[in-house]
């Protein structure tokens, strides 16, 4: 379980997350929605320990991310997929995927690379396994990014707008992989602007507004009268649907 | 000995001088690489106190003439610390320190050239700072640094000629001796200059070869 209580985060004078409480249990797919600047990326970066939190507590399977000794355990349990892929440009797809298993989990290189190839095969990249990121399309890069996270066999996947740098065709190719993952019971925290897709795969929707979690509802409730009763949610959904 | 013509032995003398210059160049480059890189790693880890000390020393070395540094080591160390240094030792110490300072600068900017986003990815997957340095930063930083490093080394090769003033028998010193004996400066300095030129070209060539191999090995064309 990922457990967030009383989370606060500011950058200088600007408070970006202002008292967040959120729990994500094994097997859930929680989509995080909210307008630009509401703090979604910051929330993900607090969970994976890239940002120091100012107050509150985040634990991943009981490991406190603000304690250096526990952070590495917490990180072993969650895998992040980045908006801009963040691949290592000097390594092939296979090497990108196998690096962390080799270095962190001490898996023998041969085995790690064989597993990486299998993962790449499962997302349709069998032929491109030995290509460098610069030789791949955006959609292919993001599929490598997803494999890289899966290679650590994480309990939780953290995804921050993983399709927003992709064109519609590539977006659907990545989303179908995520849908398949959701079906197999992979736990996900999914930050997105793809409202309809979020609706189709999530068990819950968390809605952030100016650093506060103003809704945390089962998916269908969020999109029904209960969600619409919240002015900010109604406003957001009508605006997103118009776009 | 009367002023006289060149003898076949002068070729040997020139080659010996070249050998001394080359030996000093190669050894001070290697020492400089080790020290300069170590300083850059200290900075990467933000080791308190040591990091400030490194910056301070590197600044001193970069911003004062090598000749002054050489005199300080050769005349200063015996006078103040009662340590006797031979001309070769003084040359070795000074040139190594000087190379280290400039290699440090190149190494720091090479490390910083590697994108933050990749480093964040590596951190999130639990790699330690050392693993990130070795697996993610070093390969890319090396490819980035080869160009500036080659330029620096060509320059450092010329700088070795300064050590002739404290009596090290390097190529320039041999040139000086031949010149005084034959009184044919044009011929002597042309020969000496040509030898430096060829060596510098060799360094450039080796650098380009190495860079090409690194890039071919990674097939990395940048982003
Ligand atoms: N490193 C930083 N330094 C200062 N301010 C920051 C930093 N990172 C984020 N912010 C600010 O925090 C706020 C929330 O940013 P965040 O990236 O979390 O929003 P977001 O919900 O992910 O937005 P988007 O949908 O546009 O990605 C923004 O106002 C942003 O300017
Ligand atoms: Mg964001």
Give the per-residue SS3 of B186-220: HHHHHHHHHHHHHHHHHHHHHHHHHHHHHHHHHCC
Q: What's the whole-number mean pLDDT along residues B181-188?
A: 90
Which candidate from B117, B125, B223 shows the least CB-CB separation from A100?
Answer: B125
Pocket around ligand 1: residues whose beta carbon is below 6 Å from it?
A 11, 16, 34, 36-42
Would you state the pLDDT for residue A184? 87
Is residue B222 predicted with pLDDT exceeding 70?
no
Encode pLDDT of B195-208 as tens digits. 999 999 999 999 99
Would you state the pLDDT for residue B218? 59
A75 contacts on B by Cβ (under 8 Å): 124-126
Atom of ligand 1 nearest to the CA of A39: 18
Is residue B57 predicted with pLDDT exceeding 60?
yes
Q: Please tell me the distance from the alpha carbon of residue A48 to that of residue A51, in angstroms, as a whole number.
A: 8
Whole-number Å distance, alpha carbon A124 to ligand 2 midpoint, is 28
Q: In sequence order, which residues have a C-beta less than 8 Å from that of residue A235 and are 6 or more positions away?
A: none
Ligand 1 atom 1: the closest Cα is on which residue?
A11
Would you state the pLDDT for residue A95? 97
Radius of gyration over every alpha carbon of chain B, rounded to an integer in angstroms: 21
**Across the strands, what pairs with B187?**
none
Residues 133-162 of B with CB under 8 A from A: 135-136, 139-140, 143
Q: Model's pTM, two decimal places? A: 0.89
Percent of chain A with pLDDT over 90: 86
Candidates A90, A112, A146: best to mutate against B (most CBs of B within 10 A) is A90
Average pLDDT for chain B: 91
Tokens of A10: 């500011």
Whole-number Å distance, alpha carbon A37 to ligand 1 midpoint, is 5
The yes/no answer on whether domain B9-214 falls in CATH 3.30.750.24 is no
Contact B104, B58 (CB under 8 A): yes
Is residue B2 predicted with pLDDT exceeding 70?
no
Q: Please tell me the distance from the alpha carbon of residue A48 to that of residue A134, in angstroms, as a whole number.
A: 27
Q: What's the whole-number mean pLDDT along residues B116-122?
A: 95
Is residue B139 predicted with pLDDT exceeding 80?
yes
Q: What's the whole-number mean pLDDT along residues A152-171?
A: 92
Encode pLDDT of A23-74 as tens digits. 999 999 999 999 999 999 999 999 999 999 999 999 999 999 999 999 999 9
Contact A29, A149 (CB under 8 A): no
Q: From the CA of A103, how many Å to the nearest CA of chain B?
A: 7
Q: Which domains does chain A have, with CATH numbers?
A: 2-84+154-242 (3.40.50.300)
Given the DSSP bridges, would you call strands A14-24 and A204-209 parallel, antiparallel or unpaired? Answer: unpaired
Average pLDDT for chain A: 94
Which has the closest alpha carbon to A162: B89, A152, B162, A147?
Answer: A147
Contact A89 B126 (CB under 8 A): no
Helix (H, G, I), strand (E, B) or coil at A205: strand
Locate tokens 């900017």: which residue? B109
Atom of ligand 1 nearest to the CA of A17: 14
Contact A86 B139 (CB under 8 A): no
B136 contacts on A by Cβ (under 8 Å): 88, 99
Q: How far apart are the first and last CA of chain A?
A: 35
Domain ranges (residues) in chain B = 9-214
Residues B11, B16, B17: CA angle, nearest 5 degrees: 100
Confidence label for B223 from pLDDT (cuts 50, 70 and 90): very low
Contact B222 A134 (CB under 8 A): yes
Q: In sequence order, which residues have a C-beta less than 8 Å from that of residue B67 and are 6 or more positions away?
A: B162, B165
Which residues keep their CB under 5 angstroms from ion ligand 2? A 41
Q: Which of A10, A40, A52 to mutate to test the pocket of ligand 1 (most atoms within 8 A of CB)?
A: A40
Given the DSSP bridges, would you call strands A63-64 and A212-218 parallel, antiparallel or unpaired? Answer: unpaired
Q: Please tell me the distance from the alpha carbon of residue B190 to that of residue B184, in angstroms, as a whole number.
A: 10
Is residue A79 predicted with pLDDT exceeding 70?
yes
Whole-number Å distance, alpha carbon A38 to ligand 2 midpoint, is 8
Confidence label for B45 from pLDDT (cuts 50, 70 and 90): very high
Would you state the pLDDT for residue B174? 93
Would you state the pLDDT for residue A149? 96
With an 8 Å Cβ cutoff, is B172 touching chain A? no
Is residue B18 predicted with pLDDT exceeding 60?
yes
Encode pLDDT of B59-108 as tens digits. 999 999 999 999 999 999 888 888 889 999 999 999 999 999 999 999 99
Would you state the pLDDT for residue A243? 66
């Amino acid at each position: 379980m990922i457990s967030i209580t009383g989370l606060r985060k500011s950058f200088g004078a600007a408070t970006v997350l202002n008292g967040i409480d959120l729990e994500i249990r094994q097997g859930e797919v929680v989509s995080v929605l909210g307008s630009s600047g509401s703090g979604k990326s910051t929330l993900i970066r607090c969970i994976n320990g890239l940002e120091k939190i100012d107050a509150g507590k985040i634990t991943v399977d009981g490991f406190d991310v603000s304690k250096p000794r526990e952070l590495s355990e917490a990180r072993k349990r969650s895998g992040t997929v980045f908006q801009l892929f963040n691949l290592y440009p000097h390594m092939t797809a296979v090497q990108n995927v196998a690096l962390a298993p080799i270095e962190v989990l001490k898996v023998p290189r041969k085995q790690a690379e064989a597993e990486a190839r299998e993962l790449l095969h499962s997302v349709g990249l069998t032929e491109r396994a030995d290509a460098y990121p610069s030789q791949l399309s955006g959609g292919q890069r993001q599929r490598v990014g997803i494999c890289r996270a899966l290679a650590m066999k994480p309990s939780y996947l953290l995804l921050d707008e993983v399709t927003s740098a992709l064109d519609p065709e590539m977006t659907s190719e990545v989303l179908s992989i995520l849908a398949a993952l959701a079906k197999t019971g992979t736990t996900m925290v999914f930050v997105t602007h793809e409202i309809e897709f979020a609706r189709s795969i999530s068990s819950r929707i968390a809605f952030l507004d100016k650093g506060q979690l103003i809704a945390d509802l089962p998916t269908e409730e969020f999109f029904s009268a209960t969600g619409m009763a919240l002015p900010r949610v109604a406003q957001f959904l009508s605006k997103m649907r118009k776009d | 000995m009367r002023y006289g013509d060149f003898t076949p032995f002068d070729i040997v003398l020139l080659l010996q001088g070249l050998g001394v210059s080359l030996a000093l160049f190669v050894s001070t480059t290697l020492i400089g690489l080790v020290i300069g890189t170590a300083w850059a790693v200290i900075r990467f880890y933000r080791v308190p106190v040591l990091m400030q000390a490194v910056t301070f020393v590197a600044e001193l070395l970069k911003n004062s003439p090598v000749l002054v540094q050489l005199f300080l080591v050769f005349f200063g160390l015996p006078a103040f610390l009662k340590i006797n240094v031979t001309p070769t030792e003084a040359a070795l110490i000074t040139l190594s320190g000087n190379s280290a300072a400039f290699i440090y600068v190149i190494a720091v900017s090479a490390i910083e050239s590697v994108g933050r986003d990749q480093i964040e990815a590596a951190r999130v997957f639990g790699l330690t700072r050392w693993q990130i340095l070795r697996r993610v930063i070093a390969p890319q930083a090396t490819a980035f640094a080869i160009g500036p490093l080659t330029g620096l080394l060509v320059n450092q090769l010329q700088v070795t000629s300064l050590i002739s003033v404290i009596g090290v028998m390097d190529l320039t010193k041999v040139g000086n001796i031949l010149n005084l004996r034959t009184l044919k400066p044009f011929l002597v300095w042309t020969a000496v200059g040509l030898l430096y030129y060829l060596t510098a070209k060799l360094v450039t060539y080796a650098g380009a070869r190495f860079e090409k191999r690194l890039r071919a090995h990674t097939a990395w064309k940048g982003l």
